[in-house]
């Protein structure tokens, strides 16, 4: 049976590395484990199979190979260790939390209200879309669910009103609105810790690698100077780059009003979900601070993962969602296996000493470079290498440990600043290609943004986002230190 090249490529890469001579300074088991890890990453990049399957197969192979632990029982415990990680359960729980947002209709109502309020002019409409994304981002850990499931269905109805269809008439208004919606979600994904699942996964890697932990509020205030600026600039930059032919859109507020009237008054579930969203944000911001006393709790501290479970429990008790909804949330359970496998495999590289060997080798070539230049080079590598990845999570799992380990080997580098710059870049880098992040294929496939335009717009906005990261966030983080 003829197989797709995507299926065979990971095997080719894995076996090629496996049978290559072991580099000086490494043991055979270290190099052979890296061969498995590299094959998994290639499988994720080219999507040879569903990503959860790739991760699970790779983890299984790594465990039975004995490269980490020769004792079968210890190898099994290592393979299962990731399933108890709070980071993984926070991601899964947050996905389930987003079901209530979607099922209640609260997210759609918020977006429609913003469109009705400031959607008269075309640029105002872009601001409405941007603010709609920003308003639900803190409580929606999947940018695919947020932008693809809530924003896109509303935005996709707008161009038709003006006779702007995919193809020759797309540039009337469709290209501009679609691109602004896509670019905005890249900004909001970096702005909030809980706006992008890989943020949490990458933070888990950073915690394991260098012991850094960042709370929700610390994440927000660290990125706020650039995040707020970009939320203001995205519609303006899109206006210059996409050049919409229609400058005003007076019909859109009326359309949004009609949609809101069709929805009727705020439903019981929307009211409850509004309270739960505010409660979750309050607990995320204050509950993780041991200096703030929380009423009705046995202590003044609540873990961010537990916050999600509290909200899920309340949604179940109040019938906002059902347990069947949780079981049917395929994306959550795919993420469960996907993240667990990647985090465990990535940690394995560090456990066997491969990362230390690689970092030592790379850092030798950076001898004599100032810490500031070294930081810029490492962040540049971390950001732009994403052109080779179709998953932000696999990117973080594969590249972040290496960048951090190299940074640790360079005297004078502020590891907190370097780590934060890498973490903050995760959402921003999603803008650069049609496959760089979850919502990208949806907007790319809409037909409103041409193939050439998508790559061009991605490069332009990617450069702007990266320069903002280096020119604004870098000195801001240094100042905060």
Query: pLDDT tens for residues 142-190?
Result: 787 788 777 887 788 788 777 788 888 989 989 999 999 999 999 999 9
Q: Quote the CA–CA distance of 375 and 358 in Å, as a whole number.
A: 17
Q: How far is CA 394 from CA 7, 198, 202, 297, in A?
A: 17, 9, 10, 37
pLDDT classification of 299: cutoffs 50, 70, 90: low
Q: What distance in Å separates the CA atoms of residue 152 and residue 134, rounded to the nearest whole number?
A: 14
**In this predicted structure, what is the pLDDT of residue 146?**
82
Using CA atoms, how far apart are residues 234 and 246, in angstroms rounded to an integer?
A: 18
| Mean pLDDT score across all residues of the chain | 85
Q: What is the mean pLDDT of residues 250-260?
A: 86
Q: Does position 366 have pLDDT exceeding 90, yes or no?
A: no
Q: Scanning the structure block, which residue is given the tokens 């880098």?
A: 429
Please write the tens of the pLDDT for every residue from 13-25. 889 998 999 888 8
Q: CB-hemisphere CA count at 13 Å for 1?
A: 4
Residue 120 tokens, joined: 């008269």
pLDDT digits (tens, 9 = 90+) for 20-63: 998 888 888 889 999 998 898 888 777 678 878 888 899 999 99
Determine the pLDDT at residue 294: 54
Flag whether pLDDT at 234 surpasses 90: yes
Does this model's pTM top 0.95? My answer is no
Cβ-based neighbours of 199, under 8 Å, separated by 6 or more = 189, 190, 192, 193, 219, 423, 426, 427
DSSP at 248: B
Q: Is 467 exposed, middle or buried (0-12, 13-18, 19+ CB in 10 A)?
A: exposed
pLDDT per position as a tens digit, 88-143: 787 777 778 778 877 888 877 887 887 888 878 889 889 988 998 998 888 777 78
């Amino acid at each position: 049976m003829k197989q797709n090249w995507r299926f065979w490529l990971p095997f080719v890469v894995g076996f090629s590395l496996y049978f290559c001579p072991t580099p000086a300074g490494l043991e055979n088991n270290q190099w052979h484990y890296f061969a498995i890890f590299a094959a998994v990453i290639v499988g994720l990049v080219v999507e040879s199979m569903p990503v959860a399957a790739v991760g699970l197969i790779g983890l299984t192979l790594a465990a039975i190979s004995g490269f980490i632990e020769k004792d079968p029982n210890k190898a099994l415990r290592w393979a299962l260790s990731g399933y108890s990680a709070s980071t993984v359960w926070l991601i899964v729980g947050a996905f389930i939390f987003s079901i209530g947002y979607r099922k209640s209709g609260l997210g759609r109502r918020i977006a429609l209200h913003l469109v009705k309020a400031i959607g008269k002019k075309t640029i105002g409409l872009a601001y409405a879309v941007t603010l709609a994304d920003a308003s639900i981002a803190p409580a929606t850990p999947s940018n695919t669910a947020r932008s693809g499931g809530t924003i896109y269905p509303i935005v996709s109805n707008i161009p038709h009103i003006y006779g702007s269809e995919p193809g020759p008439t797309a540039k009337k208004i469709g290209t501009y609105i679609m691109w602004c919606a896509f670019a905005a979600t890249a900004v909001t994904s970096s702005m909030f810790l809980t706006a992008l699942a890989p943020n949490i996964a990458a933070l888990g890697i950073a915690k394991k690698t260098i012991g850094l932990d960042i709370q929700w509020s610390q994440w927000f205030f660290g990125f706020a100077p650039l995040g707020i600026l970009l939320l203001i600039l995205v519609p303006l930059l899109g206006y210059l780059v996409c050049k919409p032919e229609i400058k005003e859109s007076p019909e859109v507020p009326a359309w949004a009003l009609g949609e809101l009237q069709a929805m009727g008054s705020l439903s019981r579930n929307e009211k409850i979900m509004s309270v739960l969203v505010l409660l979750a944000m309050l607990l995320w911001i204050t509950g993780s601070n041991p200096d703030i006393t929380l009423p009705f709790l046995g202590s003044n501290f609540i873990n961010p993962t537990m916050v999600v479970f509290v909200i899920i429990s309340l949604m179940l008790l109040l019938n906002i969602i059902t347990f069947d909804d949780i079981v049917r949330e395929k994306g959550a359970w795919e993420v469960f296996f996907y993240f667990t496998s990647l985090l465990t495999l990535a940690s394995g590289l560090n456990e066997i000493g491969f990362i230390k060997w690689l970092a030592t080798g790379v850092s030798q070539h950076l001898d004599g470079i100032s810490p500031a230049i070294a930081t810029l080079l490492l962040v540049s590598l971390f950001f732009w290498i994403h052109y080779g990845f179709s998953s932000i999570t696999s990117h973080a799992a594969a590249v972040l440990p290496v960048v951090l380990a190299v940074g640790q080997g360079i005297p004078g580098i502020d590891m907190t600043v370097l780590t934060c710059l890498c973490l903050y870049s995760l959402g921003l880098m999603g803008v650069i290609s049609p496959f760089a992040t979850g919502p990208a294929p949806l907007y790319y496939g809409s037909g409103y943004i041409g193939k050439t335009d998508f790559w061009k717009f991605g490069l332009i906005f990617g450069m702007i986002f990266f320069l903002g990261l280096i020119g604004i966030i870098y000195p801001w983080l240094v100042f905060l230190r």
